[in-house]
Amino acid sequence: MRQILPMPRNVRDLIELFSIYEPQIGIHSVLSAFDSSELTRATVFTAVLGGVSEQRLNMPTSSQYHPRAHMRNLLESAEFRAQARRLIVDAFPEKRRIIFVHIPKCAGSDMSEILFNHFPALPSGSFVHTASNAEGFFAFLRKFSLGLRYGTAIALTGHTQLKFYQNQNFIREQDFIFTILRDPASIVYSFVNYVLTICKTAKTQPRGDTPTWLEFLGITEIPEDASPEDMLILARRALYKENTRNTMCTLLGDGDLQGSLAQVIATNIEITDTSRYQAWRETYFPNEKITRHNASESYFTPDNASPADRDYIAQITTEDQKLYALVQARLAKTGKLSLRGNELG
């Protein structure tokens, strides 16, 4: 006979309860595991959303209240998905936070996989309501909950701006926050090649984000026999969408050097770069194998970019170039593998 577990009274109880989630049964495996006879609207709101306003709590409801159905509706809602990352972090204050500000095309996939292997992780992409259906999200919460039992820290990853972590008070004295930089022009070329590679291999290596990138390029497919000239046309289409305008300064600040420096210094984030990355990661995660899940074909390079293309890349990376040059100069001067934000003050 299945054991009846204690009723969840807060977010922490609820997340820990997800360790018993069974994918073949679905959310019912969680909701049927506890006695709901004393479950009130207030307790449901507290367990799922950490509480709500008195006004919302006192809103009229139907004469027959079904707490399990209410909890299920909340758990499946966009509201819960949007707030869950913040709620979970706050529910486990004793866990150290390892925060990785993932700048695209800067060894982030490799580092994220390492973090996933070492810690229960909360990647920002998992909390996008359209990223997966509710049951897929619940399966993710099960894996996270199981990892919490033995993990001493929680990893937060994804393309989330540094100011979000700062403004939301995610960063405490005992936490560790870091990022990886790369030559700004290289980021642009890598991004374009990444998009082209995903779209070119759409039939043989389909991915969840393939339709998004095909739509980004305004096509339904890239023919297998596409010529280098065809690929270059598509490369320029991706380039001039401006998705890589000062990527580093945007994620570390508000898109310019001064804003980035202000937040980098305030958070004292640790910074390394891709040329030092392998040696740097060895100091924190020794003997880890390098992975390259997002490796791309080189369809677009400085050699086949036109002078106008190169001028445009320089234009959209102006602020990033300033930040990168400053970091490179300080790293070269110290001979270290990384620096902290306060060293740029």
For residue 304, tell me if it sits in a domain: yes
For residue 248, tell me if it sits in a domain: yes
Q: How confident is the model at residue 35 (pLDDT cuts 50, 70, 90)?
A: confident
Domain hosting 253: range is 182-270+286-344
Smallest CA-to-CA distance from 90 within 26, 10, 193 is with 10
Q: How confident is the model at residue 59 (pLDDT cuts 50, 70, 90)?
A: confident
For residue 187, tell me if it sits in a domain: yes
For residue 111, tell me if it sits in a domain: no
Cα 268 to Cα 341: distance, rounded to the nearest angstrom? 4
Smallest CA-to-CA distance from 273 within 194, 345, 327 is with 327
Select from 75, 92, 109 the last residue of a domain.
75
Q: What is the CA radius of gyration of the chain?
A: 23
What is the predicted pLDDT for the residue at 1? 41
In the chain, what percentage of residues exceed pLDDT 70? 98
For residue 80, tell me if it sits in a domain: no
Segments of the chain assigned E as strands: 96-101, 121-123, 153-157, 176-181, 270-273, 339-340
- The answer to whether residues 339 and 221 belong to one domain is yes
Q: How confident is the model at residue 132 (pLDDT cuts 50, 70, 90)?
A: confident
What is the predicted pLDDT for the residue at 3? 62
Residue 24 host element (H or E): none
Condensed to tens digits (0 to 9), the pLDDT of residues 163-210 reads 999 998 999 999 999 999 999 999 999 999 999 999 999 888 888 889
Select from 75, 105, 135 the last residue of a domain.
75
For residue 246, tell me if it sits in a domain: yes
Q: Label residue 127 left, alpha or beta by phi (over 0 means left) and psi (-120 to 50 means alpha).
A: alpha
- The answer to whether residues 202 and 330 belong to one domain is yes
- The answer to whether residues 192 and 337 belong to one domain is yes
In the chain, what percentage of residues exceed pLDDT 90? 82
Cα 127 to Cα 83: distance, rounded to the nearest angstrom? 8
Residue 239 host element (H or E): helix 228-239
What is the predicted pLDDT for the residue at 63? 73
For residue 203, tell me if it sits in a domain: yes
Select from 75, 92, 124 the last residue of a domain.
75
- The answer to whether residues 196 and 335 belong to one domain is yes
How many structural domains are present in the chain?
2
For residue 297, tell me if it sits in a domain: yes
What sections of 240-306 are H helices per DSSP? 247-252, 257-267, 274-284
